[in-house]
Amino acid sequence: MSLLEIESLAVSYSTAGGIRRAVHDVSLAIEPGQTVALVGESGSGKTTTAQAVIGLLPENGRVERGRVLLNGTDIAGWNERRLRAVRGTQVSLVPQDPVSSLDPVQTIGAQIAEVFRLHEPRDRRPVLPRVLALLERVGIDEPEHRARQYPHELSGGMRQRVLIAIAVALHPRLIIADEPTSALDVTVQRNVLDLLDSLRREFGTAVLFVTHDLAVAAERSQRLVVMRDGRVEEQDDTATILQAPGSAYTRALLADAPAFSTVERVARPAGGGSSAAGGATTEAAPPTAAPPALAVTGLVKEFRRGARGAAFRAVDDVSFAVPAGTTHAIVGESGSGKTTTARMVARFETPTAGSIALAGEDITDARGAALRALRRRVQLVYQNPFSTLDPRQRIRDIVEEPLRNFGLGDRAARRDRAAELVDRVALPPSVLLRHPRELSGGQRQRVAIARALALDPAVFVLDEAVSALDVTVQAGILRLLDELQRDLGLTYLFISHDLAVVRQISDTVSVMRRGRVVESGPVASLFADPRHEYTQQLLSAVPGAAVPGAADALPTPLGDRR
């Protein structure tokens, strides 16, 4: 008998616009001790399915029909009171976002102890030793000290460990892990997933692993369930699906997953005439006489904590040069200083030391009118397409705004330009009159790109510009960026934590750690032969890197799909 069996589950939400079905007819089974990955894009119904299992649908959600058999007992129709006895003891949850998933005003220890207090209220044994043992088991040092700390005093990775400790406290039969590592850096992600794996083996717990990341799913699961639009598109053993995906959708997902595409960026003659493998290293001078589109030398940024606090070097002696028409990537984990570097290049921060040159012209100390003129040449595209567009403006106004700010063209000319830009980023003209909330994440990011293009800049600083998007959407944006670069000769500074994406879009790369560049060079050679230990660590932590055969099955270079 399967541990969990879902039979033709249908879930709907009642919204202002009427009843909306989110999940239609989903069936799947999980055996004891097995990891089943539920994969799909946002809106595919994967999280709704997982929530339905544990009876934690949002208030407006309802299981319309179908059965959820836990050890052969149908719990789909159970009321809240009966479900409470199952939650935490039989089925537990590891949530998506460790930062907001712990009560900010209670200590870590109290929140772990709560599981015992809820389910074993008459147990006379002291709870504290059990809490400390759990903390130690999930790899948190100084448990006594940590137990007394509050969530905000712990890093994201540590908080996720605490949440895992809560989930495994009573040795449940099934853990529902809902995107447990999406918010974490790759190396932290690997550690957390390893921990989950070892606990699964130790306690014989099954895991329902919900993720949008096919690479992670492929690496961690025995069985894959691919969902799309609330239905199961395909399900089978993970290895089988990777070798021979049955549905076109799964094939597209695999193709778009950056981790699986083996082919690096195609080297091509760039606008400045230098080859793609040009000179991102500090030693190598640009091969041509033309100055690089962007050159950064000995950049330093110090922040002070408080009025008399010690200085903290967020960026420490960073140098690189980007030939015109090429892409330079800065990779690193959170806190590595990559975003601070990007902000200095766009001159939203002033460097403590070092210099920044744009096409040979020093812009380090530009201020006033010069700084304003600089905005026309360097544009920024941010990570979150949901908060970078004014929700009250129409798309046309958003795209036109840079032109208005610089007083370029008359009203009619600006309108024409906006229409042209929207077309340029492959959006239909109808979006011009819409508001950001009516667009999808990918469409919004295209609008952000159109806005950045408005002033004909030479350099784009892309700060995690595709990190918040689903893989297929992400692939679309990357193709667009590539196309724009070829047509307009744009130079990109591409900030990312995702090495797989970096490999697809960049010519040269700098790896940053704790404010310093530990290694830099052309993408092809750096990825094939990483010299620095940290680069090796980062590369081996990329999910999917270890999946055998996955790459061979999917020879889909970016260049072929242009």
Partner 1 sequence: MARYLWGRIAQAVLVLWIAFTVTFVLLQALPGDAVLIKFQGGDLNLTPAQLEEIRLSYGADESLLVQYLHAIGNVLTGDLGYSVQAGVPVTTLLAANLPSTLVLASLGFAVAVVLAVGIALVSSLTPFAWLRNVLHSVPSLFISIPTFWLGITLIQIFSFRLKLVPVIGGSTLESLLLPVLTLAVPISAPLAQVLVRSIDEVSVQPFVSVVRAKGASPSWVLWRHVARNATLPALTIAGVLLGELIAGAVVTETVFGRTGIGRITQDAVNNQDVAVLQAVVLLSALGYVVVNLIVDLLYPVLDPRITVRSGDRRANRRAGARVATGASA
Q: Quick check: 89 binds partner 1 (CB under 8 A)?
A: yes
Q: Quick check: 36 binds partner 1 (CB under 8 A)?
A: no
Q: Quick check: 310 binds partner 1 (CB under 8 A)?
A: no
Q: Quick check: 7 binds partner 1 (CB under 8 A)?
A: no
**DSSP string computed for 532-544:** SHHHHHHHHHSTT
- Which range binds partner 1 by CB under 8 A, 91-99, 207-215, 445-453, 497-505? 91-99
Contact with partner 1 (CB under 8 A) among 86, 296, 344, 453: 86
Q: Quick check: 114 binds partner 1 (CB under 8 A)?
A: yes
Contact with partner 1 (CB under 8 A) among 100, 262, 387, 405: 100
Smallest gap from residue 282 Cβ to partner 1 (A):
37
Q: Name the residue nearer to partner 1 (CB basis): 172 or 442.
A: 172
User: Comparing C-alpha atoms, which of 206, 203, 207, 191 is closest to residue 139?
Assistant: 191
CB 496 within 8 A of CB 328: no
Give the three-state DSSP class for 192.
helix
Q: Which amino acid is at 540?
A: S
Contact with partner 1 (CB under 8 A) among 29, 56, 128, 359: 56
Within 10 angstroms of residue 408's Cβ, the number of other Cβ atoms is: 16
Smallest gap from residue 58 Cβ to partner 1 (A):
8
Smallest gap from residue 352 Cβ to partner 1 (A):
23
Q: Quick check: 130 binds partner 1 (CB under 8 A)?
A: no
Smallest gap from residue 47 Cβ to partner 1 (A):
11
Contact with partner 1 (CB under 8 A) among 97, 229, 397, 401: 97
Q: Name the residue nearer to partner 1 (CB basis): 18 or 104.
A: 104
Q: Name the residue nearer to partner 1 (CB basis): 151 or 457.
A: 151
Dig out the tokens for 509 from the structure.
């790369």
DSSP H or E run through 191:
helix 186-203
The order of strands in the sheet holding 311-322 is 311-322, 294-304, 353-358, 361-362
Q: Quick check: 84 binds partner 1 (CB under 8 A)?
A: yes
Q: Quick check: 119 binds partner 1 (CB under 8 A)?
A: yes
367 exposure class (CB count in 10 Å sphere: 0-12, 13-18, 19+): exposed
Q: Name the residue nearer to partner 1 (CB basis): 102 or 280.
A: 102
Smallest gap from residue 155 Cβ to partner 1 (A):
15
CA distance 185 to 541: 10
Q: Quick check: 154 binds partner 1 (CB under 8 A)?
A: no
Q: Quick check: 306 binds partner 1 (CB under 8 A)?
A: yes
Smallest gap from residue 306 Cβ to partner 1 (A):
6
Q: Quick check: 131 binds partner 1 (CB under 8 A)?
A: no
List, as own/partner pairs, every contact residues 156-160 make where C-beta atoms lie below 8 angstroms and the sequence separation is at least 24, other chains included.
156/98, 156/99, 156/183, 156/184, 156/188, 156/334, 157/98, 157/184, 157/185, 157/188, 157/191, 157/192, 159/98, 159/99, 159/101, 159/102, 160/94, 160/98, 160/184, 160/188, 160/192
Q: How many residues bind partner 1 (CB under 8 A)?
A: 33
**DSSP string computed for 68-128:** EEETTEE-TT--HHHHHHHBTTTEEEE-S-TTTSS-TTS-HHHHHHHHHHHH-TT--S-SH
**DSSP string computed for 270-298:** -TTS--TT---SSSSPPSSSSPPSEEEEE
Q: Quick check: 82 binds partner 1 (CB under 8 A)?
A: no
27 exposure class (CB count in 10 Å sphere: 0-12, 13-18, 19+): middle
Residue 147 Cα to chain centre, angstroms: 30
Smallest gap from residue 54 Cβ to partner 1 (A):
6
Look-up: residue for tokens 């903290």?
A: 312
Q: Name the residue nearer to partner 1 (CB basis): 114 or 483.
A: 114
Q: Quick check: 95 binds partner 1 (CB under 8 A)?
A: yes
Q: Quick check: 465 binds partner 1 (CB under 8 A)?
A: no
Contact with partner 1 (CB under 8 A) among 102, 158, 188, 255: 102
CA distance 282 to 284: 6
Q: Quick check: 115 binds partner 1 (CB under 8 A)?
A: yes
Contact with partner 1 (CB under 8 A) among 34, 47, 101, 443: 101
Contact with partner 1 (CB under 8 A) among 307, 310, 369, 412: 307
> Interface with partner 1 by CB under 8 A: which residues?
54, 56, 80-81, 84-89, 92-93, 95-97, 100-106, 114-115, 118-119, 150, 152, 163, 166, 306-308
